[in-house]
Amino acid sequence: MTKWMGAAAVAAAAMMPVVVAAQAQTPAKAAGEDAQAKICSNDDASESAEAVVAACSAVIADSRYGARDHAIAYARRGLAHVDLGEFDMAAADTDKAIGIETNNDFIWAARGVALASAGNFEAAKAAYDRSLAIGPGNGGILAKRAGVLLDLGKPKEALADADAALAAQPGDFEARIMQAQAVAKLGDHAKALALFDTLIAENPLPFLYNLRGDARLDARKYAEAAADYSEVLKRGSNAPTLNARGWAYRMAGELGKAIADFDAAIRSDPTLFAAYAGRGEAYDELDEYERAVADFTKALKLQPGHAGVLRERGSAYAELGKLALALADYDAALSIEPKNSDMLNGRCWVRAVAGAELAKALADCTAAIALAPKEANTYDSRGLVELKMADNAAAFADYDKAAKMDPTRASYFYGRGIAAIRLGRRAEGEADLTKAGTMDAGVAARYAKHGVTP
C-alpha cells in the first residue's frame, strides 16, 4: 500500500449488509404471532433497514415483551442504524441492550459491529472478545473480529481468526474475504491474489474488486490495480476509488491520469486527505513545486502534523529555494519520527544546500546512514556536506559508495569528480565530470547553484 492512502476500500464487513450470527435472538412472540417481531428479527435479511428500525421500535414500546426481548430489539435496531450509517444511534441502542442484558453473545457482537462501523476498533475488538467468551467458536463473530484486527494493523492475529472462522463455518464468504486481506497484509501477494480471484469469480461484487486492487497495489502490479478500480468505477463514481486509482496511476508514473483522478476525487470529497497528498506528489514529480506545496498544505490542514506530508512539503520547499521553510518542515517531521532515515537525509540535504549548520547536517546524514546503510542518496547528501567542509577525502569516499550502489545517477559521479580534483587527482576527476555531463547535461549547473564547482 502507498504511504498515504491507507485502505482504498472500506472493510469488507462494513460493505455488506450487517448480519450477526449468534445464538437464536428473535424477540419471542407475545400474544400470538407478531409481524413486528418478525420484521425486527429480519432473519432472511429481506427487510429494509428503515423497516427494521420501525419494527424494533414497536417491539421496544410494546409492554407485552419482556426485558430480554427488548434488549434484543435494541441490538437489532442498532444493527439497522449501522446499515443506515447512523453510527451514534447504533452505539446508543447497543449500549441500552447491554444495560438490560449483559451476558448475551449476540448483543455484544452487535455492539462490536456498531463500534467498528464508527471506527472505534479497539473497543470493537473488546466487544467481540466478550461475545466470543460467552459463545466460543462462533465463525461469524470470529470473521468480524478478524476485520477489526486488520484495521488495528494486526494481520497475523486476523489470519488466525479468519482461519478459525473457516474451520467453524467452512466456505464462509466473509471469513474468506478477511483471510485474503490478512494474507495480503502479511506480504504473500501471490496467495492473496489467488484468493481474491476465486472470490470474484464466485461473486463479482464491486468492493471485492476494490480489495483486490489494494492487494495488487501492494504487490506493485499498478496497471492491474488500476484495472480493478476502473471496474468498480464502471458501476458508479466514488471518491475513495478514484483516489485509489489515482495512486495506482501515480505509482505507475502515469502522472496526468493520476492528477485527473485526484482532481475528480477532491471534487467529490474536498476532505480527502490522501488525494491532496497524492496530487502533491504527482506535481512534485512534474517539477511543479508551487502546486505541490499548495496540495501538501491542504493535506496538512486535514491531518495536521502528518510526518510524511511534512517531509514531502519540506522537499518541495527546498526545490523552490525556500530553505528556512524546508528546514522547519523537516524539524517538525523529525519531532514526530526522529529515527526516519529519509527525513534525516532530507534535513541534512537542506542544511548542505544552505551551507549552514554543516556539523548538524553531517550528524543527520551519519544518523540516516546508520539507519539505512544501503541508501545511495544519503551518501550523496553527506558527500555534499563534506565538500563544503573541505573534507575532500571523506567526500570522495561517500560519492564513490553512492556511485557503486547506483551507477545511473550523474550527480554521484560529478561529486566524486570534484572531490578527486580537489585531492590533486585531476585526470581521474575530469573523467568523472565528463561522464556525469554525458549522463545529465544539467548536473554542473545544479552543483554550481549549490555553491560547489571543481
CA–CA dist 452, 192 (Å, integer) = 50
Q: Residue 27: its pLDDT value, please?
A: 58
Asked if the structure places residue 223 within a domain, the reply is: no
Whether residue 24 has pLDDT greater than 50:
no
**Structural domain of 404:** 385-453
What is the pTM (predicted TM-score) of this model? Answer: 0.83
Is the alpha carbon torsion for 78, 79, 83, 85 positive or negative? positive
Residue partners of 395: CB distance under 8 A and separation at least 6: 383, 384, 386, 387, 415, 418, 419
Whether residue 328 has pLDDT greater than 50:
yes
pLDDT digit string, tens, across residues 212-241: 999 999 999 999 999 999 999 999 999 999
**DSSP notation for 288-319:** -HHHHHHHHHHHHHHSTT-HHHHHHHHHHHHH
Whether residue 312 has pLDDT greater than 60:
yes
| CATH code, 414 | 1.25.40
Residue 377 C-alpha cell reads as: 542518496
Q: Residue 22: its pLDDT value, please?
A: 47
Asked if the structure places residue 253 within a domain, the reply is: no
Q: Residue 26: its pLDDT value, please?
A: 55
Asked if the structure places residue 305 within a domain, the reply is: no
Q: Residue 35: its pLDDT value, please?
A: 87
Asked if the structure places residue 367 within a domain, the reply is: no
Q: Residue 10: its pLDDT value, please?
A: 35
Asked if the structure places residue 435 within a domain, the reply is: yes
Average pLDDT, the chain: 93
The model's confidence at residue 32, banded by pLDDT at 50, 70 and 90, is: very low
Q: Residue 227: its pLDDT value, please?
A: 98
Asked if the structure places residue 394 within a domain, the reply is: yes
Asked if the structure places residue 208 within a domain, the reply is: no
Whether residue 409 has pLDDT greater than 50:
yes
Q: How many domains does the chain have?
A: 1
CA atoms within 13 Å, Cβ hemisphere of 52: 29
Q: Residue 16: its pLDDT value, please?
A: 43
Residue partners of 20: CB distance under 8 A and separation at least 6: 79, 106, 109, 110, 113, 140, 141, 144
Asked if the structure places residue 10 within a domain, the reply is: no
Q: Residue 240: its pLDDT value, please?
A: 96
**DSSP notation for 319-347:** HTT-HHHHHHHHHHHHHH-TT-HHHHHHH
Whether residue 12 has pLDDT greater than 90:
no
CA–CA dist 347, 53 (Å, integer) = 56
Length, in residues, of the chain: 454
Average pLDDT estimate for 178-203:
97
Q: Residue 30: its pLDDT value, please?
A: 45
Average pLDDT estimate for 250-268:
98
pLDDT digit string, tens, across residues 82-121: 999 999 999 999 999 999 999 999 999 999 999 999 999 9
Q: Residue 44: its pLDDT value, please?
A: 84
Q: Residue 1: its pLDDT value, please?
A: 44
**Whose CA is closest to 143, among 118, 175, 190?**
175
pLDDT digit string, tens, across residues 363-378: 999 999 999 999 999 9
Average pLDDT estimate for 198-210:
96
The Cα angle at residue 334 between residues 328 and 340, in degrees rounded to 5: 135
CA–CA dist 165, 177 (Å, integer) = 11
**Whose CA is closest to 205, among 235, 246, 225, 163?**
235
CA–CA dist 239, 248 (Å, integer) = 14
The model's confidence at residue 15, banded by pLDDT at 50, 70 and 90, is: very low
Asked if 143 and 172 touch (Cβ cutoff 8 Å), the reply is yes
Say what percent of the chain tops pLDDT 90: 90
CA–CA dist 63, 323 (Å, integer) = 72
CA–CA distance from 393 to each of 410, 420, 422 (Å)?
Answer: 20, 8, 9
Q: Residue 25: its pLDDT value, please?
A: 56
Average pLDDT estimate for 6-30:
44
pLDDT digit string, tens, across residues 38-79: 999 988 889 999 999 999 999 999 999 999 999 999 999 999
